[in-house]
Chain A
Amino acid sequence: MNAVQRARHHDVPVPPQVLHPKSYLREGSTLGSWLTTRDHKRIALLYMIAITFFFFIGGAAAGLIRLQLMSASGNLVSDRTYTELFTAHGIIMVWFFLIPSIPATLGNFLVPLMIGAKEVAFPRLNLASWYIYSFGGLLVVATLLSGGVDTGWTFYTPLSTLFSNTRVILAASAVFVVGFSSILTGLNFIVTIHRLRAPGMGWFRLPLFVWAQYTTSVIMVLATPVLAMTLLLMAFERLTRIGIFDPALGGDPLLFQHLFWFYSHPAVYIMVLPAMGVASEIIPCFARKRVFGYRAMAYAMLGIGAFGFLVWGHHMFVSGQSSYASDVFSLLSFIVAVPSAIKVFNWTATLYKGSIELTAPMLYALGFVVLFLIGGLTGLWLAATALDVDLHDTYFVIAHFHYIMVGGTVMAYLGGLHFWWPKIVGRMYPERWARIAAWLIFIGFNLTFYPQFLLGLAGMPRRYHHYLAQFQLLNQLSSTGAGVLALGYLLPLIYLIWAMRRGQRAPDNPWHATGLEWHTSSPPPKENFEILPHVTGLPYDYEPTSIGPEPPHPAGPP
Chain B
Amino acid sequence: MSTPDVQLGIPAAAQLAAEEAPAEQFGTRTNQNEATEFGMWVFLATELMFFGALLLGYAYGRHLDPAGFAEASRHTDLVIGTANTAILLSSALTMSLAIRAAQRLERGALMSFLAASALLGLLFLALKGYEYHDDIDEGLVPWADFRITGVHRGAAALFYFLYYALTALHALHLTIAIIVVLVYLVRLRGATVAPYRQQITVTALYWHFVDGMWVLLYTLIYVASPRS
Do A's and B's CB atoms come within 8 Å in the complex?
A: yes
Evaluate whether A242 and B161 lie within 8 angstroms (CB atoms) in the complex, with A229-B50, A252-B60, A259-B56 already known: yes
Encode contact with B along A224-243: 1 for CB under 8 Å, 0 otherwise. Answer: 11101110010000001111
Evaluate whether A243 and B46 lie within 8 angstroms (CB atoms) in the complex, with A120-B25, A191-B35, A252-B64 already known: no
Across-interface contacts of A112 in B (CB, < 8 A): 25
Cα-based distance from A496 to B60 in the complex (angstroms): 50
B46 x A262 contact (CB < 8 A): no
User: B53 contacts which of A121, A194, A259 (Cβ < 8 Å)?
Assistant: A259
B50 x A123 contact (CB < 8 A): no
Evaluate whether A262 and B64 lie within 8 angstroms (CB atoms) in the complex, with A117-B25, A196-B35, A244-B161 already known: no
Interface residues in A242-285 (C-beta closer than 8 Å to B): 242-244, 249-252, 255, 258-259, 262
User: B42 contacts which of A119, A190, A225, A242 (Cβ < 8 Å)?
Assistant: A190
Closest to B143 in A: A242
Cα-based distance from A194 to B35 in the complex (angstroms): 8
Across-interface contacts of A224 in B (CB, < 8 A): 46, 49
Query: Closest CB-CB distance, B136 to chain A, in whole Å?
Result: 15
Across-interface contacts of A194 in B (CB, < 8 A): 35, 38
Contact of A118 with B by CB under 8 A: yes
Contact of A223 with B by CB under 8 A: yes
User: A229 contacts which of B25, B45, B54 (Cβ < 8 Å)?
Assistant: B54
User: B49 contacts which of A117, A223, A240 (Cβ < 8 Å)?
Assistant: A223
A225 x B53 contact (CB < 8 A): yes
B25 x A119 contact (CB < 8 A): yes
Query: Closest CB-CB distance, B161 to chain A, in whole Å?
Result: 6
Contact of A122 with B by CB under 8 A: yes
Interface residues in B38-66 (C-beta closer than 8 Å to A): 38-39, 42-43, 45-47, 49-50, 52-54, 56-57, 60-61, 64
A221 x B42 contact (CB < 8 A): yes
A183 x B46 contact (CB < 8 A): yes
User: A242 contacts which of B25, B39, B157 (Cβ < 8 Å)?
Assistant: B157
A250 x B157 contact (CB < 8 A): yes
Across-interface contacts of B142 in A (CB, < 8 A): 242-243
Across-interface contacts of A221 in B (CB, < 8 A): 42, 45-46, 49
A250 x B158 contact (CB < 8 A): yes
Contact of B154 with A by CB under 8 A: yes
User: A121 contacts which of B35, B43, B61 (Cβ < 8 Å)?
Assistant: B35
Cα-based distance from A225 to B43 in the complex (angstroms): 11
User: A250 contacts which of B24, B46, B50, B153 (Cβ < 8 Å)?
Assistant: B153
Cα-based distance from A244 to B64 in the complex (angstroms): 13
Cα-based distance from A224 to B157 in the complex (angstroms): 27
**Which of A120, A241, A250, A258: most chain B CB closer than 10 A?**
A250
Contact of B34 with A by CB under 8 A: yes
Encode contact with A along B160-173: 1 for CB under 8 Å, 0 otherwise. Answer: 01000100000000
A243 x B154 contact (CB < 8 A): yes
Contact of B155 with A by CB under 8 A: yes
Cα-based distance from A187 to B38 in the complex (angstroms): 10
Contact of B219 with A by CB under 8 A: no
B43 x A187 contact (CB < 8 A): yes
Cα-based distance from A121 to B47 in the complex (angstroms): 20
User: A226 contacts which of B23, B42, B52, B153 (Cβ < 8 Å)?
Assistant: B52
Across-interface contacts of A195 in B (CB, < 8 A): 26, 31, 34-35, 38
Query: Closest CB-CB distance, B216 to chain A, in whole Å?
Result: 16
Across-interface contacts of B143 in A (CB, < 8 A): 240-242
Interface residues in B129-157 (C-beta closer than 8 Å to A): 142-143, 153-155, 157
User: B47 contacts which of A225, A230, A240, A262 (Cβ < 8 Å)?
Assistant: A225
B45 x A222 contact (CB < 8 A): yes
A118 x B24 contact (CB < 8 A): yes
Closest to B49 in A: A225
Encode contact with A along B60-92: 1 for CB under 8 Å, 0 otherwise. Answer: 110010000000000000000000000000000
A258 x B60 contact (CB < 8 A): yes
Contact of A527 with B by CB under 8 A: yes
Cα-based distance from A25 to B43 in the complex (angstroms): 32
A123 x B25 contact (CB < 8 A): yes
B24 x A225 contact (CB < 8 A): no
Across-interface contacts of B50 in A (CB, < 8 A): 225-226, 228-229
Query: Closest CB-CB distance, A184 to chain B, in whole Å?
Result: 9
Closest to A187 in B: B42
Closest to B43 in A: A187
Evaluate whether A225 and B52 lie within 8 angstroms (CB atoms) in the complex, with A196-B26, A251-B158, A255-B57 already known: yes
Across-interface contacts of B157 in A (CB, < 8 A): 242-243, 249-250
Query: Closest CB-CB distance, B140 to chain A, in whole Å?
Result: 13
B38 x A191 contact (CB < 8 A): yes
Interface residues of B (CB under 8 A from A): 23-26, 31, 34-35, 38-39, 42-43, 45-47, 49-50, 52-54, 56-57, 60-61, 64, 142-143, 153-155, 157-158, 161, 165
Q: A221-B46, A226-B50, A244-B57 are in contact. List 14 more A-B contacts (CB 8 A).
A: A121-B25, A123-B23, A187-B43, A191-B38, A195-B35, A195-B38, A196-B35, A225-B46, A225-B47, A229-B54, A241-B143, A244-B161, A255-B61, A259-B57
Q: What are 22 contact pairs spanning A and B, CB under 8 A?
A: A118-B24, A119-B25, A120-B25, A190-B42, A191-B39, A194-B38, A195-B38, A196-B31, A221-B45, A222-B46, A222-B49, A243-B142, A243-B154, A250-B155, A250-B158, A251-B154, A255-B57, A255-B60, A255-B61, A258-B60, A259-B56, A527-B24
10 cross-chain pairs, A with B, having the tightest CB-CB distances, nearest first? A250-B154, A229-B53, A119-B25, A225-B49, A195-B35, A242-B143, A225-B50, A226-B53, A118-B25, A191-B39
